[in-house]
Chains A and B, each alone.
Chain A
């Protein structure tokens, strides 16, 4: 049992190392945004210094392609981002900022 746990821990550390080194070849897209870009984001909501648009691009394309804000109505986005909050384990603040951004991006 202990040996198996050790193996798990070792593998987790290895993955952690790989994941941090990924940064070397891929620059985060959201951070490269110019001031003008983020100024155009209509969202008023921010969380941890990130706008709704940045939170959206950081979180919503981790698992699948993103669908444009125009694709759904406001009430539909409420339901979808509620659903996705449970999938993506984002916080309530992030959920609200992302919904706000999606509704305003139309």
Chain B
């Protein structure tokens, strides 16, 4: 509707311009005597024809325009801006209107479109897993990411994980954060966010990024925090040719397991709510000596015991070191990735089940646990053969120590090899085999196939 008005306005303006352009000539021509000469007639006819042609093209564009614009606005809405590949015609329309119509029309259109920008991103994934000791299974998930840029400084990012499970569908809110860019080096975020010290969860977990079908053990199993509900401040700055980045946060802390013999002394990071007034404080500092190489140190300190119990004053400390390398090597004719993180946690000394009423105490313990992974990947990006360039090889070692009480899960070390084929920068087909033998237990070796597509 708006468009139609815009075109009629353009047409009216043209007519006025034409009239204005033609009337002075007539008035100034001394030979007319009130009659129209052949020359004047021809001029007017030519102008009329040109105008008719122009109107026709405008009409045609009006028919083609709205459809394309509609599909595009479903994806993103921004002022004066058009996706170039899909919207050439629309872009042309914009240009033409901008030159032919008076400026207020264009400005009005900008404010009608609004300044908010919305993007629906995310990924989808499908997997087949055949693990020794478990029934083989297919699985799938959709992981939409909602991004709203309200102003150039304010962004909301939220992710859901939607997957079929049993006879229904599981929907998890993975993160939901409102962030504010304070200045060029400092950003604030509040809500539910990825724990900055858990590099895998924050950076490599999306299945179109992770080069193996499954996650390393340790990242979700009580050594490292993974998702935090709280507030964070983060940013980065260059120091000469090197750079430093940082993220510090305060959040609901982990919960100390005290009721169960197997898990006594373990930190449970999966609870989003806190069990006391003491909040966890943590962070990570990274140093990049050269582009594509980063080393980091992360920590989180908290009081994990339930308020009002004998465990309330215990302190827990988690620390980790990590290394991320992404480098192109002419020598190896390709790209090499090396991602590694090792974390260790410790809870102050305490006696669990002191009166034996739970059936496993008294159990005096300084609960300690550690785990981590190292993965190396190689993709021959500099080879001339397309087919080979799309392959990537990956190898991973990961480890998690036994549960601190010594009565639960034993320590576990796994070795995994994988071969990926990249169909596009964010579409990948993976095959992997994992050797997994928990201490003293039957092996749980596994074969995986997975396809993931990021969008």
Contact = CB atoms under 8 A, between A and B. Distances in A.
B119 A76 contact: yes
A8 B297 contact: yes
A30 B291 contact: yes
B328 A26 contact: yes
A26 B293 CA distance: 11
Interface in A47-105: 48, 58-59, 61-68, 70, 72-76, 78-80, 82-83, 85-93
B19 interface: no
Contacts of A28: 290-292, 327-328
Contact of A64 (B202, B317, B426): B426
Interface stretch (B60-68, B164-172, B184-192, B355-363): B184-192
Given A11-B321, A48-B238, A86-B155, A26 B189 contact: no
A89 B245 contact: yes
A22 B293 CA distance: 8
Contact of B76 (A11, A22, A73, A90): A73
Contacts of B454: 64
A26 to B, nearest CB: 4
Contact of A70 (B85, B293, B344): B85
Given A64-B426, A79-B117, A91-B236, A4 B326 contact: no
A35 interface: no
A78 B117 contact: yes
A64 B331 CA distance: 22
Given A4-B317, A20-B289, A63-B204, A76 B75 contact: yes
Interface residues of B, number: 76
A36 interface: no
A8 B76 CA distance: 45
Contacts of B426: 64-65, 67
A30 B177 CA distance: 33
A70 B84 CA distance: 8
Range for the number of chain A residues in contact with chain B: 35 or more
Interface in B148-201: 149, 152, 155, 157, 179, 181, 183-185, 187, 189
B410 interface: no
A8 B319 contact: yes
B289 A19 contact: yes
Interface of A, helix, strand, loop or mixed by DSSP: helix
Given A26-B336, A73-B76, A86-B234, A80 B121 contact: yes
Interface in A1-59: 1, 4-5, 7-8, 11-12, 15-16, 18-20, 22-23, 25-30, 48, 58-59
A47 to B, nearest CB: 8
Contact of B202 (A15, A16, A27, A87): A87
A15 B295 CA distance: 6
A93 B346 CA distance: 40
A75 B185 contact: no
Contacts of B438: none
B138 interface: no
Interface centre among A30, A80, A88, A89 (most CB of B within 10 A): A89
B54 interface: no
B87 to A, nearest CB: 8
A70 B336 CA distance: 26
A19 B76 contact: no
Interface string B76-95: 11110111110100000000
A12 to B, nearest CB: 5
B291 A4 contact: no
A4 B344 contact: yes
Contacts of B287: 16
B157 A83 contact: yes
Interface in B225-274: 234-238, 245-247
Contacts of B149: 78-79, 82
A60 B341 CA distance: 21
A27 B289 contact: no
Contacts of B72: 73
Nearest to B425: A65
Contacts of B184: 91-93
- The 10 A-B pairs at the shortest CB distance, nearest first, are namely A75-B78, A92-B184, A73-B83, A89-B245, A89-B236, A26-B327, A58-B291, A65-B425, A26-B329, A29-B328
Interface of B: 72, 75-79, 81-85, 87, 117-119, 121, 147, 149, 152, 155, 157, 179, 181, 183-185, 187, 189, 202-204, 206, 208-209, 234-238, 245-247, 286-287, 289-295, 297, 299, 317, 319, 321-332, 336, 338, 342, 344, 346, 422, 425-426, 454
Given A48-B238, A70-B85, A83-B121, 19 more contacts: A8-B297, A15-B295, A19-B323, A20-B290, A64-B206, A67-B425, A74-B78, A74-B83, A76-B78, A78-B149, A79-B147, A80-B121, A85-B181, A89-B246, A90-B236, A91-B236, A92-B185, A93-B184, A106-B85
